[in-house]
Structure 1
Amino acid sequence: MTGPRIMIVGSSMTDLVSYLGRMPERGETVFGKDFAQGFGGKGANQAAMAALLGAEVSMVGAVGGDSFGRDTVENLRGLGIDATHVVEIDDAHSGIAMILVDPDGDNRIVLAPGANERLTPQHVDDAFDDAGGPDLVLSQLEVPQETIRRGFERAKGAGGITVLNPAPAAAVDPGVLAVTDWVIPNETEFAILLEAELGRGVEDLEADAVALGERIGASLVVTLGERGALLVHDGDLTRLEAPAVEAVDTTGAGDAFCGGFAFALAGGAAPADATRLGIALASDSVTRRGTQASYARGADLERILAG
């Protein structure tokens, strides 16, 4: 029996991670304590988590004609992800994420999206025309919003669920929100959405989450890091707590949440159960370094799924 069919219309990046004793001040150079290179990009990260859980995942994305791009496609395929529609754009560089991590596990990230910015609605159409409609389409804001909109329109036309992780924080095209079933922002992204849609800042997080959900006509999960998440669905609000863990690197935790949530929701789980799984996977991921490399596998994953 195969898992739920999930299509990711999103980004891939190569992560260049420096672990620091402290963050540099403006104009200052500091020595790093360690360095790691890994596979990232919000789209690819979320695809990886869903695939590790057993979903049948396809990726619609773009890489450059360089070694980073070739390695990215090989990594996706190694995770069991269908990378048929990860296109290579010869005159662009592959996406790069330069990540600084401090001793508390907090990070600062600079993105050079490269080929990700060249992903088009036609690429989405090609994927749907080849494979039909998945159970769920999941996107983020590291590729053009017109391309996200096309993916969601095609998904809705085929009876699928649409989930938007509005990250990195940015204004969202109303046309995208109009075809979005679920929005998963963190607190920073939530504040930007609230300002754009209701014209004000956050006053009461819980009440504001309900108001925003009503305004955009979508369900919400506001992720709160170590404080868990707020779920707004059918006008009802539920706060779900996160387990206490010792964080060493928070990079990619939000993507672990989104991939796990999408897997569970596409498989028919209740929204609260999907949110609990996302929290468990994100909380586990921060106990290890890296992005995709930090995601639970083997016995660790079985323990999480067993509850």
Structure 2
Amino acid sequence: MSGPRVMCVGLACVDIISVCKNYPEEDSDQRVLDFYWQKGGNASNTSSVLSLLGAQSEYMGSFANDNEMRFLKEDFDSFGVSTSHCVTYNTGYITPTSVIIVNSQNGSRTILHASKNLPEITLDDFKAVNLKNYKWIHFEGRPSFNTPAYEIVCML
């Protein structure tokens, strides 16, 4: 990529979606109507949408070196999103995952998120980035486990 870019900093996870006829009752067994994986996470999805809109887009976050990371990187590549500044942890870490139950009757969704042990990027990781290459940086923040994500946009 050349010229000023847009960087999105935050979470990338794998969403495992199960579409059900209706929401399952507790302690029941139900076949699903559809099942698929997709990339999730505010910053990762924002970087893909910006790329579709014509921006030179980059995602920056942490990856665990596992099969789910390969799935995520393939998805980023398919949208032309650079992941060159991502930090990859090689041993003992797991990619964050969300299991999503979609009720096909009313469209409701229930999300079960697991972010077991993957560290966030650090200030030192971010300091390695040459900010002169970016015209806009989008930060996704998660201050604590029970607090919703919030976003900070920095225009350079």
Contact conserved, 1:52 with 1:79, CA < 8 A, in 2? Answer: yes
User: Does the CA contact (< 8 Å) of 2:139 and 2:153 recur in 1?
Assistant: no
Instruction: Tell me: higher relative CO, structure 1 or 2? Use CA pairs within 8 A at least 6 residues apart.
Output: 2
**How far apart, CA to CA, are the structure 1 residues paired with 2:96 and 2:49?**
19
Say if 1:89 and 1:115, in contact at 8 Å, map to a contact too.
no
1:170 aligns with 2:147: yes
Cα distance in 2 for residues equivalent to 1:125 and 1:112: 28
Deviation at 1:171, TM superposition (A): 6.2
Q: Which amino acid aligns with 1:17?
A: I
Alignment deviations for residues 110-140 of structure 1 (CA, whole Å, 9 cap, x no partner) = 112246543222222222x3x5352222232
CA–CA separation in structure 2 for the residues paired with 1:181 and 1:77: 24
Shift of 1:20: 0.6
Match in the other structure for 1:123: 125
Flag the 1:117–1:23 CA change in 2: closer, same or farther, 3 A. farther
Q: Tell me how far apart the structure 2 counterparts of residues 3 and 40 of structure 1 sit (CA, whole Å).
A: 27
Which protein is bigger by CA-based radius of gyration?
Answer: 1
Identity among equivalent positions (%) equals 21
Tell me, in whole angstroms, the C-alpha distance in 2 between the residues paired with 1:115 and 1:78.
Answer: 27
With over 3 angstroms needed to count, the CA separation of the structure-2 counterparts of 1:63 and 1:25, relative to structure 1, is same
Q: Match for 2:110 among 94, 108, 124?
A: 108
Q: Which runs of 4+ in 1 moved over 6 A?
A: none
User: Is the Cα contact below 8 Å between 1:94 and 1:116 reproduced in 2?
Assistant: yes
Paired letter, 1:136 = W
Does residue 98 of structure 2 align to residue 82 of structure 1? no
How far residue 93 of structure 1 moved from its aligned partner, in angstroms, is 0.8
More strand as a share of residues: 2
State the partner residue of 2:60. Answer: 60
Secondary structure, aligned partner of 2:25:
coil
Matched to 2:135, the amino acid is: D
* Structure 1 spans left out of the alignment, 5+ residues: 146-167, 183-265, 267-307
Number of residue pairs aligned between Structure 1 and Structure 2: 152
In structure 2, the residue matched to 1:45 is 45
What secondary structure does 1:48 align onto? helix
Cα distance in 1 for partners of 2:77, 2:66 equals 17
Q: Is the 8 A contact 1:64 1:92 kept in 2?
A: yes
- Separation (CA, whole Å) in 2 of partners of 1:24 and 1:97: 17
Q: Which sections of structure 2, spanning at least 5 residues, go unmatched?
A: none
1:4 deviates by 6.5
After superposition, the C-alpha distances for 1:151-205 in whole angstroms (9 at most, x for unaligned) are xxxxxxxxxxxxxxxxx97168xxx99xx469xxxxxxxxxxxxxxxxxxxxxxx
SS in 1 for 2:128: helix
Shift of 1:61: 0.7
Structure 2 letter corresponding to 1:100 = I
- Is the alpha carbon distance of 1:139 and 1:71 closer, same or farther for their aligned partners in structure 2, counting shifts above 3 Å? same
Q: CA deviation at 1:3?
A: 8.7
TM-score by length of 2: 0.80
Contact 2:6–2:134 under 8 Å retained in 1: yes
SS at match of 1:22: coil
Q: Which amino acid is the alignment partner of residue 125 of structure 1?
A: K
Amino acid across the alignment from 1:19: V
